[in-house]
Structures are given as structure tokens and as C-alpha cells.
Amino acid sequence: DTEVTQTPKHLVMGMTNKKSLKCEQHMGHRAMYWYKQKAKKPPELMFVYSYEKLSINESVPSRFSPECPNSSLLNLHLHALQPEDSALYLCASSQRDRANEKLFFGSGTQLSVL
């Protein structure tokens, strides 16, 4: 089973709204990620929770804040977003395979900021 579940699948929000994206995995993976993907571009790493430690891509603005309530859940809180933040937001978890991490993506949340 390689399922990573994301909700909602689609989200439309105004620039003054606060919303959250949710992600869940029950595969026992110890690392979870948020990626952002714009059309025709590769995924860009935003945040990683690996063994309860948070790593941040320094270029991610503070209007995005991650939360990891436990090793199976990962949230992304959104506040005062801009239209350029419209993108596909992908959650992923990774499985340690020998010395490597295999990354599995959820189905994504298509976010539109008006």
C-alpha cells in the first residue's frame, strides 16, 4: 500500500482567507513533505518533516506554515495568500529503502487564489 491521502482535492480561496490542507499516510513512513508545483514545472520542495524534525526551504514565504500533529499527519496552513500562490500542492511521504528514500506523492490539492 503506497497511499498518501490529501484533502481537499480542490480549493478556491480569497487573499484574506485562512485555510488548511491536510495529508495522511498510514504506511509507517517517518518523513513527510509538502511540494508546490506550477503548470509545466517540476515539483518544488517547501517543507520536510523527517523523524519529527522540520526542515524549511528558506524561499517559502511565511504565509505558508506546516504542522505535523503526529507521524501520520501533515497539515499546511494558508493565510493571506497571493494569486501567484495558485498551484498544485503535493504532499508526499518517503520510505527508507537501503540507504535511499523513495518518495510517494498524494493526489494533490489544486489551489486557486482569487
- Nearer CB in complex with another protein: 84/97: 97
- Residue 43 Cβ vs another protein, minimum distance, rounded to whole Å: 6
Dihedral sign from CA coordinates of 108, 3, 17, 45: negative
Cα–Cα distance, 53 to 105 (Å, whole number): 20
Q: Which residues bind another protein (CB under 8 A)?
A: 2, 31, 33, 40-43, 45, 48, 50, 88, 90, 94, 97-108, 110
- To another protein, the closest distance from the beta carbon of 82 in angstroms equals 22
From the list 62, 29, 35, 37, the residue with the least C-alpha distance to 48 is 35
Question: Shortest Cβ distance from residue 20 to another protein (Å)?
Answer: 19
